[in-house]
Structure 1
């Protein structure tokens, strides 16, 4: 306040008002930011000129700090521009120095000095307090830093402990699981040990318990079923068990009676039905396409219908063999529905689910089976919208994929029917050669049946020729001298026997010459073997076995996919067309396709070599021409669906995937009927149902 004018009180009041305005403005600037606040302080600092100026307008201090706009306001022409300064006075002194009154100046200065000392001591004390507070705050800050560091370290340790705890819990769970498994294993072993100890006690006492409570044990049930599989009669099962017990030196508390054995058989039938149901459930769960196989036969007075399904992995499941009142497609379909729906724990729509999973059928080409396949296709189309979820939301291509359905026919039946085609051609040739108008069967067929009857593996024991023939071949070191039986073989057995007769024709003539007088039945065979036409027919039949029927049979049973028939049927067609025009091509020993030349231990290279080494004649060429033309017509009709233009010729990826489950033959169902034939022959009184 040393620079104030005489009118000190007025200047002092003006100074206080300016300080108040600056203080209010500084608060506003402080809220806006640190940089703007500092700039304001520089512009608002008091200088020496402020106290010597008489015309400074107080409102100047209200607008200080507006440096953003780049201008400062002035009061008059003589107003002083407020400039930045780092020091300004904010001390409200309680005394006023009047420089014009020397008398008062000394006392004023003294008072001012005392006041300054007091304020100085106050400020020093405040500074000390502030220093102590500041040091305390520093100590607290250091303490908090250490505390935070310890907290972080503790958190890291806690995380590590939590991770270790989880690992320990997981390990503990595994150990508990292993312990539970071990306890269960120990209990099972203990039960087994107790059972074995009980059996040992029974053996030591010489008596074995076959019953567990009031029922026979599972081991007894298994033994009875095995005895039934061996053909033991119901009333003899108990006696067999007693005989075995006597052999082992033990006795039984009781043995199953005939009625109990029959109940065991019925129970095993129930187990078989449960097995079929579980297998069908597995097929449906895998959502794989199935092939429905069916066939019918007559055994005595009973008509039987068999059903089975093929899975893509090659699994075959016999669904059932049921007696039917008549051979009709509708009856067969009703029996199929009743059989599948009657399986244990089958739901109401189980049969429809099975139908939807069936994408193709396998059967023979009989009219009844063809109509049955059509009924399956129609019922399947009706069941698809009910079974397939969200069927209405599917696109047309997706719906069409669900409705794809194929019918296949057994290729073994094609080979079986091919025999009559070849024999018919040879009969026509023989009628022309011999100049006859009518003949029941070709002479070569008579020869084949006669040789099979007298020299075959199941030949007639009345004449006793087979034993003599076997000894004769052994003496002269003749290999592969056996002939398959003609009866009991359905497919290409005629061609197999023909190739064997052609190979051994000279051996047979030599044998017959030695035994002709003692065995008059051989004279007819001798006449046929010496007939040139019959020899040519044997030659052609043998080549058919080596080049057509044998490879086709093996390929149909071993092909990877039934649609592979498209390739080899086309190659067979082209080969037959060539042979019908140029019969010489038939005798070179080359199969229609290399894929048909499947090696088999039942074939001998000697047979094929003997057939190929014989030079063709004019007569054999005529026979080949007739046979190839008839064969071409027959195979074109049999493989019409697999040849170009057929419904199975389009090798579409979806069709190939849907028909992956289809076999090329119906041999599994035929095998089931073969077993039934065995039962009818060996156990005529056995119940079919």
Structure 2
């Protein structure tokens, strides 16, 4: 299980070669096995994390909306906090969440005043927007639904604010543009109908190949809506409601309620169609193995057995990197072996395992760990030095090749 990074094919080939070399060593009577059995044991199935597919939907939708806005709208917001390649809809979502959420902008934000405005003037006790900081999966689509729900309150709040700063002016100017608001609404509808339910399906299914039917269902829905998104705008679900229910909260009601603005509805439908078209292209490229005609679309019984315990995502390894990142921030001078030991201690639940041992066995294991700790560190140093030597050797070889050219 991996993402689609450029280094993965080389890593997978090395891992497959390592497996082929080690299997004859660790498996008894390897030479007596039939060739088809050997091939089945050495064959390695490479699956791709579907959470990365969900993450990649956001930049794809953003770039598509940028092209849509450039074709539909003229002029620009002079107060905008622009980023290269960012659509006006994504900018509105980002700046609104920066201004009106905790952990947003400590300098220019006004989250507490905005929350009071919601409570006293609109009777709402909850600010549905959340900060982008610390959130990655589906956050653009989720915040799009919240920003569309609050867009009228945002405009009225900034209008009543004496001498608003540049950030608040930028948010108000973008929120008043129908084409940007239509893009925000389209992203919010995508969250409630496509990405949100898909996110929950990744947690429901316990096998990667069990996602085949859901991915195919998404392919059919995106293909249909890329041509005519009127049914999507009308509230048509993508997945069966008995399998995964949509969260029909106040955000859902705001997104699918009649807008009483025909121009906004037309722009929203157009935005939905172009976003669905771009998401369809990405889906067919990054999930091609599990779609009709792909390698794992109709898996054999052997492939089903192999993939039985393969999760739908590699969030576990991503979590390890998050723990490592926090460790390096808290203890910048910690050694690699110390960080590795800490992460393995958490994953293997070593503390619980030791607690369940009897006193004699626990004491024996602890004595062994204490007496062999120094030798383990020495082996790590030797391995590190060997790796440095290999890197230096490769660098020298590359330099000689450049000189000969």
**Structure 2 residue aligned with 1:676:** 324
State the match for 2:356 in structure 1.
none
Q: Does 1:620 align with 2:268?
A: yes
Question: Counterpart of 1:594 in 2: which secondary structure?
Answer: coil
Secondary structure of the corresponding residue to residue 367 of structure 1: coil
Aligned partner of 2:23 among 362, 381, 384: 384
CA RMSD after TM alignment: 2.5
Match of 1:412 among 33, 51, 55: 51
Measure, in 1, the Cα distance between the counterparts of 2:233 and 2:299.
33
1:448 aligns with 2:93: yes
* Partner-residue secondary structure (3-state), 2:46: strand
CA distance in 1, matches of 2:309, 2:295: 18
CA displacement 1:341-384 (0-9 Å, x = unmatched)? xxxxxxxxxxxxxxxxxxxxx12211222311221112212333
In the other structure, the counterpart of 1:499 is 145
Taking the aligned partners of 2:293 and 2:168, their CA distance within structure 1 comes to: 52
Question: Cα distance 1:475–1:515, how it changes in 2: closer, same or farther (>3 A)?
Answer: same
Equivalent residue for 1:458, pick from 94, 103, 114: 103
Contact 2:93 2:184 in 1 (8 A): no
Superposition pairs of residues 395-406 of structure 1, within 5 angstroms: 395-406=34-45
Measure how far apart 1:642 and its partner are: 0.2
- 1:524-539 aligned at under 5 Å gives the runs 524-539=170-185
Q: Does 1:509 align with 2:166?
A: no
Deviations 1:1-45 (A, max 9, x none): xxxxxxxxxxxxxxxxxxxxxxxxxxxxxxxxxxxxxxxxxxxxx
1:121-163 Cα distance to aligned partner (Å, 9 max, x none): xxxxxxxxxxxxxxxxxxxxxxxxxxxxxxxxxxxxxxxxxxx
Q: Match of 2:67? A: 428
Structure with greater strand share of residues:
1
Change in CA separation of 1:440 and 1:650 when aligned onto 2, cut-off 3 Å: closer
Q: What is aligned with 1:598? A: 244
Query: Of the two structures, which has the highest relative contact order with CA contacts closer than 8 Å and spacing of 6 or more?
Result: 2
Equivalent residues, number: 326
Secondary structure at the aligned position of 1:660 is classed as: coil
Are the counterparts in 1 of residues 202 and 312 from structure 2 also a CA contact under 8 Å? yes
Give 2:294's aligned residue: 646
Aligned-partner Cα distance in 2 for 1:559–1:393: 38
In structure 2, do the counterparts of structure 1 residues 526 and 389 end up closer, same or farther at CA, with 3 Å as the change threshold? same
Measure the CA separation in 1 of the matches of 2:20 and 2:36. Answer: 15
Match of 1:659 in 2: 307
C-alpha deviation, 1:586, in angstroms: 1.9
Check conservation: 2:186, 2:272, Cα contact below 8 A: yes
Q: State how far apart, in whole Å, the 2-side matches of 1:513 and 1:522 are.
A: 9
Question: How do 1:161-560 and structure 2 match up within 5 A?
Answer: 362-435=1-74, 440-463=85-108, 465-476=110-121, 477-519=123-165, 521-560=167-206
Distance (Å, rounded) in 2 between the aligned partners of 1:464 and 1:487: 14
Shift of 1:491: 2.4
SS at match of 2:47: strand
1:558-597 equivalences under 5 Å are: 558-594=204-240
Distance 2:243 2:171 in 1: 33
- Paired with 1:653 and 1:607, the residues of 2 have a C-alpha distance of 43
How much does 1:402 deviate? Answer: 1.9
Q: d(CA) in 2 for partners of 1:572 and 1:649?
A: 14
What CA distance in whole angstroms lies between the structure 1 residues aligned with 2:220 and 2:73? 32
Aligned to 1:609: 253
- Cα distance in 1 between the residues matched to 2:145 and 2:44: 41
Q: Could you give the per-residue CA deviations for residues 60-103 of structure 1, whole angstroms, max 9, x where no partner exists?
A: xxxxxxxxxxxxxxxxxxxxxxxxxxxxxxxxxxxxxxxxxxxx
1:629 aligns with 2:277: yes
Q: Which runs of 5+ in 2 are unaligned?
A: 77-82, 338-405
Aligned equivalents of 1:530 and 1:470: distance in 2?
20
SS in 2 for 1:473: helix
When structure 1 is superposed on structure 2, of 463-472 and 436-445 the one drifting more is: 436-445
Greater helix percent: which structure?
2
Quote how far apart the aligned CAs of 1:596 are: 9.0
TM-score (norm 2): 0.74
C-alpha displacement of 1:680? 3.0
The equivalent of 2:344 in structure 1 is none
Contact 1:364 1:410 in 2 (8 A): yes
Q: Residues 464 and 640 from structure 1, CA distance in 2 versus in 1: closer, same or farther, beyond 3 angstroms?
A: closer
Structure 2 residue aligned with 1:87: none
Q: Deviations over 1:625-658 (max 9, x none)?
A: 2112111111001110001121111232221111
Partners of 1:433 and 1:461 in 2: CA distance? 35
